[in-house]
């Protein structure tokens, strides 16, 4: 092949200059294609890396730490109060026995509340966390050819369980609506921890601006009612990009 090229240049000395001219003409045309191919390959690698990181976050999630955190936030103070009241009741039994009944009643009430808190914690542990929800929904978006970008996702996987569960439900409902009804090509999800100990998620798509208030559909309205009942906020609004779903969840220490 090399010999053929050499013979060609010997017979046709202008061939090299003509080839150079052709390359100069063709390169500007094909270079955007090459650049786009390189970009797409890099984007696929980035998406794959992010998906693997989500999967790793779910797999490596330390359930014992999460349970310990929930127990500390919800039950620590209550058990401390039970201890104090038990000691007080013991002292009152000798000096003011008529006041013991009231203290014992408080202890009984607190114990019942703690039992309900434990049940809530166990129930939350059976629900999907943000990491688990994102793992599934990212795959659903990819299957629908909708590009996903997130901000603050890694930090959100460490949020309290009683916050992660409702936010996971919001993500599932909102992304399902994006896939089914928005005609969007991209979704951006932002996770924020606010100064007032509450947590916010924003889901922005570039779709048609549909409010998702479909006749006969109670998913969005039911979700909004539950969030507001727990002291949070929920809104859906159209903007210059598409549709923005925003929700704020307060950290009450336990789901009531």
The CATH code belonging to domain 64-125 is 1.20.5.1930
CATH classification number, 128-250, choose in 3.40.50.10070, 3.40.50.11440, 3.40.50.300, 3.30.565.10: 3.30.565.10
User: In whole angstroms, how far apart are CA 104 and each of 47, 78, 98, 198?
Assistant: 58, 14, 11, 35
Q: Helix 15-59 to helix 2-11 angle, to the nearest 10 degrees?
A: 150
Structure tokens at 120: 């809530």
What SS3 state is found at 62? coil
What angle in degrees, to the nearest 10, is found between the helix axes of 130-143 and 161-177? 10
The most confident of the ranges 11-15, 188-192, 204-208 is 188-192
pLDDT-derived band at 225 (thresholds 50, 70, 90) equals confident
Residues facing residue 205 across a β-bridge: 187, 243
Distance from the Cα of residue 237 to its chain's centroid = 20
| pLDDT computed for residue 255 by the predictor | 40
pLDDT score recorded for residue 201: 97
Average pLDDT over residues 198-225: 76
**Domain spans of the chain?**
2-44, 64-125, 128-250
Query: Considering the entire predicted model, what is its pTM?
Result: 0.56
pLDDT at 175: 94
- pLDDT, one tens digit per residue, over 121-134 is 666 565 778 988 99
159 has a pLDDT exceeding 80: yes
Give the pLDDT confidence of 81-127 residue by residue, as tens digits: 778 878 877 777 777 878 778 878 888 887 777 777 777 666 656 57
């Amino acid at each position: 092949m090399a010999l053929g090229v050499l013979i060609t240049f010997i017979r046709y000395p202008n061939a090299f200059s003509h080839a150079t001219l052709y390359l100069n003409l063709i390169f500007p045309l094909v270079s955007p294609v090459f650049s786009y191919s390189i970009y797409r390959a890099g984007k696929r690698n980035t998406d794959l890396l992010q998906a693997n990181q989500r999967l790793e976050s779910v797999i490596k999630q330390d359930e014992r730490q999460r349970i310990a955190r929930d127990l500390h936030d919800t039950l620590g103070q209550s058990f401390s109060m039970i201890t104090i009241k038990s000691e007080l009741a013991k002292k009152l039994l000798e000096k003011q026995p008529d006041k013991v009944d009231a203290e014992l009643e408080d202890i009984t009430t607190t114990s019942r509340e703690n039992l309900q808190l434990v049940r809530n914690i166990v129930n939350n542990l059976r629900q999907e966390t943000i990491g688990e929800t994102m793992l599934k929904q990212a795959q659903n978006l990819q299957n629908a050819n909708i590009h996903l970008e997130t901000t603050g996702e890694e930090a959100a996987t460490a949020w309290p369980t009683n916050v992660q569960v409702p936010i996971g439900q919001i993500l599932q409902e909102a992304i399902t609506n994006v896939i089914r009804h928005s005609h969007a090509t991209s979704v951006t999800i932002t996770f924020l921890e606010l100064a007032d100990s509450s947590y916010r998620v924003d889901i922005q798509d570039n779709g048609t601006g549909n409010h998702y208030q479909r006749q006969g559909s109670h998913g969005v309205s039911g979700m909004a009612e539950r969030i507001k009942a727990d002291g949070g906020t929920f809104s859906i609004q159209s903007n210059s990009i598409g549709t923005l779903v925003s929700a704020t969840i307060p950290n009450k220490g336990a789901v009531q």
